[in-house]
Amino acid sequence: MEWIVSGLSCVGKSYFLENKKDRLLEITNISLSEGRVGVEIFKGVDFEKVGVWGYDVHGATMSMHTSSKKISELKTAKNVIILGVPYYEYKIRVKFRGDHLVSGSYIVQLYRRWVDELNKKGIPHIFVESFGDYKILEEDNFFRMLS
CA distances from 72 to 1, 10, 105, 125, 143 (A): 13, 25, 28, 13, 24
Question: Around Cβ 126, how many Cβ atoms within 10 Å?
Answer: 16
What pLDDT is stored for residue 25 in this prediction? 81
The one-letter code for the residue type at 146 is L
Selected residue with higher pLDDT from 56 and 21: 21
Look up the domain containing 40 and give its range.
2-146
pLDDT digits (tens, 9 = 90+) for 54-81: 333 233 333 344 455 566 666 667 788 8
What's the mean per-residue pLDDT of the chain?
Answer: 74
The one-letter code for the residue type at 13 is K
| Nearest-angstrom CA–CA distance, 22 and 82 | 17
Q: Structurally, how many domains does the chain consist of?
A: 1
CATH number, domain of 41, equals 3.40.50
pLDDT digits (tens, 9 = 90+) for 33-57: 655 555 544 433 322 233 333 333 2
Coil, helix or strand at residue 103:
coil
For residues 127-139, give the mean pLDDT.
95
